[in-house]
Amino acid sequence: VLTSDLSVPSLPARFVLSSLSPSISPKACTGLLQEVVYLVSQGADPDEIGLMNIDEQLPVLEYPQPGLDIIKELTSPRLIKSHLPYRFLPSDLHNGNSKVIYMARNPKDLVVSYYQFHRSLRTMSYRGTFQEFCRRFMNDKLGYGSWFEHVQEFWEHHMDANVLFLKYEDMHKDLATMVEQLVRFLGVSYDKAQLESMVEHCHQLIDQCCNAEALPVGRGRVGLWKDIFTVSMNEKFDLVYKQKMGKCDLTFDFYL
């Protein structure tokens, strides 16, 4: 259940990572994003990140643990993760006093990854077919509501000075440019050699997160949907996508 009563007063200079995607690190785009952002913002080493519980470094805003009281005690600038729609985020974000890094993923890959995520958790224990799950996705019947509304709402603010709108596929297609965007947006400073080293570190991190051994189902791969969508499912999905996203100029790469 989402509520508009969520508020975190007086949290300036905060960075919120947001998306509507499974958030188990390192298997999904939010988890991968949080590790890349932590790496860039802290100048950390990928091996160090592999040894730490990164979720403790980036608490989830809407989760009961650790809770808002703990989040308010974090030292600024704080790195906080959320899957909430834009309209439900704290007012500091709407007023431009905090920064948001939003990552969107093409919905075909996302729904496959989301399905695998649901099946992997005992608390969710989803045992239906992918066809049924995909139908629920298209009908906006999954947790956090409609992906179509969620991504369009943030896209409407992608030109805001305090919003950085990223695409998961670009992390695979042009990582160097994405790292440069993050460096500028986070306000950190690297010389050319340091920046090249940071890009290489991010490449290592992504390889660790998305290689076949770590991900037997290939959940981090771009174009994952082609292995599971039938022709009829793909045609139906394209129709729904056109109906719900037709007026939006946001585009995605569905394969690389």
pLDDT of residue 229: 96
Q: Residue 244 carries which DSSP code?
A: H
Number of H helices, E strands in the chain: 12, 4
In angstroms, rounded to a whole number, what is the distance separating the alpha carbons of residues 179 and 46?
15
pLDDT of residue 50: 63
pLDDT at 234 over 90: yes
Residues 6+ apart with CB under 8 A from 149: 85, 140
Residue 240 forms part of a structural domain: yes
* Tens of pLDDT, residues 182-208: 999 998 888 888 889 888 888 877 777
CA distance 171 to 221: 11
Q: State which residues form the domain around 42.
A: 15-245
Residue 86 domain flag? yes
Per-residue model confidence as pLDDT tens digits over 214-231: 444 456 788 989 999 999
Region of poorest pLDDT, from 3-7, 56-60, 83-87 = 3-7
Query: Is 83 annotated in the active site?
Result: yes
Computed from CA positions of residues 56, 215, 105, 128, in that sequence, does the dihedral angle turn out positive or negative? negative
In a domain, 253, yes or no: no
Q: How many domains are contained in the chain?
A: 1
User: What is the per-residue pLDDT across 130-189, written as a single tens digit (0 to 9) for each?
Assistant: 999 999 999 999 888 899 999 999 999 999 999 999 999 998 899 999 999 999 999 888
Q: Do the domain assignments include residue 254?
A: no
SS3 of the chain: helix, strand, coil, percent, to 5: 50, 10, 45
Summary mean pLDDT of the chain: 80
Query: Is residue 218 a part of any domain in this protein?
Result: yes
For 20-68, what is each residue's pLDDT tens digit? 443 332 234 667 788 788 888 877 666 666 667 767 778 888 888 777 7
Alpha helices per DSSP H over 139-223: 147-155, 168-173, 175-186, 192-210
Within-domain flag for 256: no
Report the CATH number at residue 141: 3.40.50.300
> How long, in residues, is the chain?
256
Residue 20's Cβ-count burial label (10 Å; 0-12, 13-18, 19+) is buried
Catalytic residue among 83, 118, 150, 201: 83
Predicted pLDDT of residue 8? 39
| pTM as predicted | 0.83
What φ, ψ does residue 89 adopt, rounded to 5°? -75, 155
| Domain annotation covers residue 21 | yes
* Gap between the Cα atoms of 102 and 168, Å rounded: 10
Report yes or no on 183 lying in a domain.
yes
